[in-house]
Homo-oligomer: A and B are copies of this chain.
């Protein structure tokens, strides 16, 4: 039997690590802070990529690819950007190794770069430096480009998927003729991310803007979606930045507008990363292992044959092969687990650990009755299904599971979100989830609350009640409640 996991109640963080490694999603590599994304984990990430890529293309975006390396000087050009990004990064200083006299391999000092190269932590600078030659007139706008890439941000304390030195992501970088158009793009893309979170990850999110101190380095406004994990903590699941003309000014990107006047170009950028894998794991899974929303599951249905001898095995195999063909016709991703070195009970536990949405077991007695036994991963509910209605039933069940996971997560979020009006109550409730509270709008109060409670303002929600109030900390007037939480 696969070893039991540490339970969430016992040690949430250890539970997360164990699921991630034991379900075959990822592991730490020999390079400090960098992970290996294992085949099963990568298959889920591919499903996310495919879904997002289709949504980006449906909203008019094209993919392109820009260099991994960025000249050091580029980072100095946008003043606030360098503060936020260029500090903790991988610096390439040499371009050759050589064999030393003692036979070891050493860095060749004669091959020192004139200007150091930074491994991209994000690509605004290299992309806006490129856009300068692509944009002359309003006819060249908008530019709607996305890039799938790896990025590196040097991290001292890392966690698989959630915070790693190298991670995979997509970064959209668009250029527009007007402020309004760029703002509309920023909002459109945060809506795309919300749609993806809800309909693929089965993850309800709160959409809002970041406070000035939590904003992307170089942005005028940062939109975000925040999701709640099962320990009540928040995870930022996507951001979309309105960059104003900051990068256009830093890289001198001007265009002739319709009147023939030169103006700086307006910019947005937006991204999601392999962090979403962490969100997916923490949002739905239980003490038995991973629970995957069917739309992202590499295997949606696993079939485990039950038999006592070769003759029975043969009979079951023939029947299962017909079932597999029928399910594939409905585009259901099915896996026939016919590994005869493992017992059915072992397989059940393994597929539970891996979060396969539906398990189908079938033995000679089932076959004689023309039925199969189905178990739902999300509810552990068992049912006996006639073989002749199997494809339709499974298709329906997969949809139900997808829906149920979203509802369960929404319900959990609702139960762990509190409106509070005093700082005492705030300190109590912040242990349990999201807190909606009034804030006076100053970075000083925000910093003090963070210092005292480890809670940050996750976002100023876009959906507002219009209710005014007084700041729970300073007692000063507040225009609306904001979302506080501890965060990943």
For the complex formed, measure the closest distance between the CB of A265 and the CB atoms of chain B, giving whole angstroms.
17
CB-CB under 8 A for A64 and B89, given A72-B97, A105-B76: no
Contact A36 B86 (CB under 8 A): no
For the complex formed, measure the closest distance between the CB of A325 and the CB atoms of chain B, giving whole angstroms.
17
Closest to A133 in B: B27
Flag whether A365 is at the interface (Cβ < 8 A). Answer: no
For the complex formed, measure the closest distance between the CB of A169 and the CB atoms of chain B, giving whole angstroms.
12
Flag whether A66 is at the interface (Cβ < 8 A). Answer: yes
Flag whether A119 is at the interface (Cβ < 8 A). Answer: yes
Q: Digitize A294-314: 1 where CB-to-B-CB distance is under 8 Å, 0 elsewhere.
A: 000000000000000000000
Contact B91 A90 (CB under 8 A): no
Contacting residues of chain A (108-142) with chain B, CB-CB under 8 angstroms: 116-119, 126, 129-130, 139
CB-CB under 8 A for A117 and B38, given A75-B105, A93-B93: no
Contacts of A460 in B (CB 8 A): none
CB-CB under 8 A for A64 and B36, given A30-B71, A86-B97, A126-B31: yes
Contacts of A187 in B (CB 8 A): none
Contact B130 A67 (CB under 8 A): no
For the complex formed, measure the closest distance between the CB of A337 and the CB atoms of chain B, giving whole angstroms.
14
> Which listed segment binds B: A39-47, A234-242, A377-385, A443-451?
A39-47
Flag whether A145 is at the interface (Cβ < 8 A). Answer: yes
For the complex formed, measure the closest distance between the CB of A374 and the CB atoms of chain B, giving whole angstroms.
27
Contact B86 A63 (CB under 8 A): no
For the complex formed, measure the closest distance between the CB of A22 and the CB atoms of chain B, giving whole angstroms.
14
CB-CB under 8 A for A63 and B76, given A31-B71, A117-B90: no
CB-CB under 8 A for A42 and B69, given A82-B105, A89-B97: no
Q: Digitize A240-283: 1 where CB-to-B-CB distance is under 8 Å, 0 elsewhere.
A: 00000000000000000000000000000000000000000000
Q: Digitize A31-68: 1 where CB-to-B-CB distance is under 8 Å, 0 elsewhere.
A: 10011111100110010000000000000001111111
CB-CB under 8 A for A68 and B34, given A39-B62, A63-B39, A90-B95: yes
